[in-house]
Amino acid sequence: MNQGIIYAAAAYLLWGLLPLYLKALQDMPALEILLHRMVWSLFFLLGILALRRQWRWLHELQNRRVLGGFLLSALLLAGNWFIYIWAVHAGRVVDASLGYFINPLVSVLLGVIILHERLRRGQWLAIALAAAGVLWLTLQAGQLPWIAIALALTFGCYGLLRKTAGLGALEGLTLETLLLFPLALLALAWLMLHGGSRFVDGPDGLRLLALCAGPVTAIPLLLFAAGARSISMTQLGLLQYLGPTVQLLLGVLLWQEPFGLAKLLGFALIWAALLLFTAEGVWQAWRRQR
């Protein structure tokens, strides 16, 4: 259990720092960055599998049900990647962080509905507080926070699929990137042949950063998948706050994105929900120990 928590926390911390990497790729379109993430992640993962001689899982490729499930998780992952990259490039890091703040709501509710996990009254109250924070932000902005909601839904559903998947963390992520690889490679080739690729026209530093998309993408995802299979959806949702906290600090302090009083109040409700959720969990753990 402790090992699963460490894996998940490390993954969220790395995702919190991801905007620094994406900002360095500001001159490359979001779609091209997504394609590079798909391609180079596969090469990086295949290298790890080769070193470990871990190929027994390939027989699962004959199972249509397994392929269908991983194709769905691969599409959810690609959609989440693209929305997040676009948000960072558009100067919406704070809005993206909101998506990962409310993602625990999705994770916890999916755990209740799909996996039949039970929540106590204090946990339900924390969820209600966080939902009130999201509602407040929606009313103050005058529109639905679509970036946040899209990120929360795609990643929450992805986490559920990976938790219930039949393959391990490394094998499952490799299969996902393998399913995305042909389309990504064809799209990159089309961009290069038609003069629309910054990988070809850009400086050497930009190419090197694009090549780093493999380990930058794969390492936190491997940590997340390993953690998601070892801990409950409730614990996974709680740890999720680590990543968006780092993102929020980067957006406000480093890139000085707007964060007025109205937005602060909405975030404060969500933070209060986190504190209540944590305190309730500690109290219950203490009671069980007694």
User: Domains in the chain: how many in total?
Assistant: 1
Which whole number is the average pLDDT over 238-244? 81
Paired tokens of 207: 């190419």
Res. 191: pLDDT tops 70: yes
Structure tokens at 188: 């990159």
Name the band, by pLDDT with cuts 50, 70 and 90, for residue 112: confident
Tell me the residue range of the domain where 266 lies: 2-289
At 123-155, the pLDDT tens digits run 888 888 888 888 888 888 777 788 988 998 898
Q: Cα separation of 248 and 112, whole Å?
A: 28
Q: Does 24 or 275 have the greater pLDDT score?
A: 24
Q: What is the pTM of this model?
A: 0.86
Tell me how far the alpha carbon of residue 23 is from its chain's centroid: 17
171 or 115, which is more confident: 171
> What single-letter amino acid sits at 34?
L
Please give the share of the chain, as a percent, with pLDDT higher than 90: 36
pLDDT value of position 121: 85
Q: Which of 177-181, 193-197, 207-211, 230-234 has the lowest mean pLDDT?
A: 230-234
